[in-house]
Structure 1
Amino acid sequence: MRIIKKITGKVIYAFGQFLSAIFDLFIWIAGAAVSLVAGIASAVAALIGMGGCLLILLLSTPAGLLLLLNPVTLMAIVFFVVFPILGYKFISFLKYLKYIVTEYLFDLGSYLMDGKGQYKSFSEYGHKYQRMEEERISRERAERQQQQQREWEERFRQWQSYQQQSQQQGGYYRQQPYSNPMTEFRSRYEKACSTLGVGTDTDKYQVKLAYRKKAKEYHPDINHSPDATRRFQEINEAYEFLSDENIERYKQMRN
């Protein structure tokens, strides 16, 4: 009986490895297809931007209107806009499915082979994957915030150094002019506060509460309006910018 369980466990574990490879292949194919379509869409958008006025004139003609209203043209526009959005969601779903299926099989196989550990229900693996994703997003956000802090600190350091050199040379220090970063910082800070709907005298607790409310309202999985993805990205960028360090820096500027 023990031998049968061990053999069954090996078969299940090997099947999990096989499924993992199949999932990786489909994820790679889907990623390549989405990247290709998104790249073509970006290139077309760039060409349209370069010849915007000419394109408007062409589309205002009867022939241009017929071309624009042609079902094939409309389908192409919808495809290049919608496919990348759905593609990224499909890839995320494949990664989620890969994790819960393969981890279940790996744990079950190990349990049958060695009698160690335990296997759980699919829903428990799903919850674990969601927690892992939340931790990954939080970790990446923290890394971006730290990088932003280093960049702002370097810009302020260069500005102070430039001012000191300019004062020492009687205001004629022109070796490498620097623009005052305070103006841009204030503008970005106030814009971020406006995006989240908080005052400029906010604190980290108000920022976190406002972010959760806005992120839930404009999350693309819940909000299906055309600008939901853009707004959701702006909300995340605003939240990342309103770090404890930047809140304190802004308050010091006002004092």
Structure 2
Amino acid sequence: MNIINNLLGKIIYFVAKSISFVLDSLIRLIVTIVIFIKSVSKGLLVLLSMGGCLFFIFFATWGLRILLDPMGLLIVMFFIVFPVLASIFVSKLKYFKYVVTEYLFNLSNYVTDKNKYTYKSINDYKTAYRKAEEEKIREEQRRQYEQQRQWQEQFFKQHWYQQGSQGNNGGYEGQRGYSLNPNAEFKSKYEKSCDVLGIPFNSEKSQIKLAYRKKAKENHPDLNKDPGATRRFQEITDAYEFLSDENIARYRNL
């Protein structure tokens, strides 16, 4: 019986590896074609834009002829529509590849050794993929938020520095009032982030991590069905992201 299970497990594993190889090759081929089409399109646009008035002359003559010709119109539509449809198709292929191959790999292990591995249905992998994609979106949102925050912070620094320099003739006190504003705003946000995590303002990084894990677990949308859990989870994540090593050092130097 063990021999049959081992053989069946190896067959399933081979099928999973074959599907993975075929889909990876197909995805790479489509991505390569999309990159090539986009490069050609950009090259043509740059070439035409460099011509200035020649662009309008070309469009008025050859451009209209191409658009009026069925084959020419089909080629133009291909260059426009194919990259969009290909991106959607690649996304679906990646989803299919992950769900099917991971399911088969798990099934192969389970068939080979049922005592060591736990069977998971294909729906479990669909859910896992969806959660991973949602986490990618949240991570991208956090990254964009951090970039925006850094930009705003830099902008205010430059703004108050310029204002302070312009007001230097008005006395030291006026200049001092301008220079403190960015630090006051930073201090307020730092302490508010600490309050969100429920920790003292002088907490170490290890304390911050511990508090974040505890709060995140309590308010994770998958575990906490409270309607406000998602909002609180985002606030907790934003607070933790703000309490970076750099900002901890900056706060202590205020």
TM value normalised by structure 1: 0.59
Q: How does 1:183-198 map to 2 (within 5 A)?
A: none
Pair 1:159–1:122, CA change in 2 (3 A): same
Asked if structure 1 preserves the Cα contact closer than 8 Å seen for 2:12 and 2:108, the reply is: yes
Q: Which residue of 1 aligns with 2:106?
A: 107
- The change in CA–CA distance for 1:15 and 1:148 in structure 2 (over 3 A counts) is same
Alpha-carbon distance in 2 for matches of 1:136, 1:118: 27
Distance 1:78 1:50 in 2: 23
Q: What secondary structure does 2:119 align onto?
A: coil
Matched, 1:31 2:31: yes
Instruction: Tell me if 1:144 matches 2:138.
Output: no
Paired residues in the alignment total: 171
**Identity of counterpart residues, as a percentage?**
38
Which residue number corresponds to residue 159 of structure 1? 159
Please tell me whether the aligned partners of residues 100 and 122 of structure 2 are also in contact (alpha carbons under 8 angstroms): yes
Q: Structure 1's 53 and 121: CA in aligned 2 closer, same or farther, altered over 3 A?
A: farther
Q: TM-score when scaled to structure 2? A: 0.59
CA distance in 1, matches of 2:155, 2:89: 40
1:7 corresponds to which residue? 7
Q: Corresponding residue for 1:233? A: none
Change (3 A) 1:68 1:55: farther
1:91 maps to: 90
1:66–1:18 distance in 2 versus 1, CA, 3 Å: closer
Question: Which position in structure 2 is the counterpart of 1:75?
Answer: 74
Alignment partner, residue 208 of structure 2: none
Alignment of 1:203-214 (within 5 A): none
Unaligned stretches of 5+ in structure 2? Answer: 171-237, 240-254
Return closer, same or farther for 1:55/1:13 CA change in 2, 3 Å cut-off.
same
What is the distance in 1 between the residues matched to 2:94 and 2:78? 23
1:71–1:12 Cα change, 3 Å: same
RMSD of the TM alignment (CA)?
Answer: 2.5
Q: Distance in 2 between matches of 1:110 and 1:163?
A: 67
Equivalents in 1 of 2:169, 2:90: separation in Å?
59
For the residue of structure 2 that corresponds to 1:117, the secondary structure is: coil
> Displacement of 1:52 after TM fit?
5.5
Q: Matches of 1:32 and 1:64 in 2, distance apart?
A: 27
State the shift of 1:148 in Å.
1.6
Superposition pairs of residues 57-76 of structure 1, within 5 angstroms: 57-61=57-61, 65-76=64-75
Aligned counterparts of 1:87 and 1:169: Cα–Cα separation in 2: 62
For the Cα contact (< 8 Å) 1:59–1:65, is it kept in 2? Answer: yes
Q: 1:94 to 1:166 in 2, by over 3 A?
A: same
Shift of 1:53: 4.1
Cα deviation, residue 92, structure 1: 0.5
Greater displacement, 125-134 / 114-123: 114-123
State the structure with more CA Rg. Answer: 2
Partner of 1:40: 40
CA distance in 1, matches of 2:95, 2:126: 7
- Counterparts of 1:162-181 in structure 2, within 5 Å, are 162-168=162-168
CA distances 1:168-204 after superposition (whole Å, capped 9, x unpaired): 268xxxxxxxxxxxxxxxxxxxxxxxxxxxxxxxxxx
**Cα distance between partner residues in 2 of 1:60 and 1:96:** 44
- 2:185 paired residue number: none
Kindly tell me: are residues 117 and 80 of structure 1, through their superposed partners in 2, closer, same or farther at Cα, counting changes over 3 Å?
same
